[in-house]
Amino acid sequence: MNNTRRLWVALGALLIVSFSVLLWSGAQIQRNAALMTGGVLGTLHHLYFVGSPTAVVALGASFSALEVVPLAYLGFEAYHTYRLGHSTPWMQRYRWPIYFFLAVSFWNLVGAGLFGFLINPPLSLYYMQGLNLTPLHGHTALFGVYGMLGIALVLFCVRGLRPQEAWNEKTLRLSFWALNIGLALMAVLTLLPLGTLQLLAAIEHGYWYARSAEFMQKPIVDLLVWMRVPGDVVFSIGALALAWFVLRLWVHPRSRQPVASGAGAASR
């Protein structure tokens, strides 16, 4: 049995197990199974041009294009959790961690889903690999998803470690919006237009030209590079505000007002 046939057999077994789980499990496990199955096979787009068999390219292209479907499920789940947060008083204390989880869902859909779908098909990746459309996907998917997720988990843990501390919500609000707006400005003002210009140059003149010094020293490219500054500044303000918020919780803590006994019992 050659390597390609072994690959098909292994992937077929994986799909059979996955669909069996989907049929005989609850809704939550179904969503998790869809995420795991699509996510693992969706990473095969990293193996297009390393001598992979045709089956790897075909499956990687298919599941990479379908990644947006489970990512949309995550968005619905986060919105459902956000609505539940208004139904119980004690969940108001975890409002900002939930907001950052909502940001994870947004950037999951945009960064990993939309911009990932933009570069993941084999034909488009052949021209886009290594151009600024690749870091467009990388910025919005890496920090937008894992960065926001890390911040949400930090805030969740801080609330659990110091439940009686009053949070400075103005600083946290500044951090939340500055981080998200700064990241969006980086993508929209620099990475997306510069990557699009490089793609057009690669299609018309060749990949070498899109990465050449001649192209990268054009006035329009210099302008787009400087347009990165506003996004970086706004993003840096958000990072500093978050660091200041966490530091003040330990250096200058403030106790919050006592809650009702029912709400306190629920939070415990």
Q: Would you kindly state where each structural domain of the chain is located, as residue ranges? A: 67-267
Token pair belonging to 223? 């302008």
On the question of pLDDT at 89 being above 80, the answer is no
In the chain, the amino acid numbered 166 is A
pLDDT of residue 63: 75
79 or 148, higher pLDDT: 148
CA atoms within 13 A on the CB side of 195: 24
Token pair belonging to 61? 């292209």
CB atoms within 10 A of CB 1: 7
Mean pLDDT on 252-258: 65
Given a contact cutoff of 8 angstroms between Cβ atoms, the answer to whether 167 and 96 are in contact is yes
Question: What b/e string do you get for 122-158 counting C-beta neighbours within 10 Å, with b at 16 or more?
Answer: eeebebbeebbbbbbbbbbbebbbebbbebbeebbeb
129 or 7, higher pLDDT: 129
**Contacts of residue 85, Cβ cutoff 8 Å, sequence gap at least 6:** 91, 92, 94, 95, 98
What's the pLDDT tens digit per position in 164-214? Answer: 777 888 999 999 999 999 999 999 999 999 999 999 999 999 989 999 999
What's the pLDDT tens digit per position in 16-67? Answer: 655 555 555 455 555 555 555 556 677 777 777 777 777 777 777 777 777 6
Nearest to 4 by CA among 63, 51, 61, 68: 51
Query: If phi over 0 gives left and psi between -120 and 50 gives alpha, with beta otherwise, what is residue 253?
Result: beta
The CATH class of 67-267 is: mainly alpha
- pTM of the full predicted structure? 0.75
Token pair belonging to 117? 């779908």
Nearest to 241 by CA among 175, 156, 185, 179: 175
Q: What is the rounded CA–CA span in Å between residue 258 and residue 98?
A: 22
On the question of pLDDT at 77 being above 90, the answer is no
Q: Report residue 224's pLDDT band, with 50, 70 and 90 as the boundaries.
A: very high
Phi, psi of 131 (to 5 degrees): -90, 180
What's the pLDDT tens digit per position in 95-151? Answer: 888 889 889 888 888 887 788 888 878 888 888 888 899 899 889 988 998 899 899
Q: Report residue 264's pLDDT band, with 50, 70 and 90 as the boundaries.
A: very low
pLDDT of residue 13: 63
What's the pLDDT tens digit per position in 232-252? Answer: 999 999 999 999 998 888 877
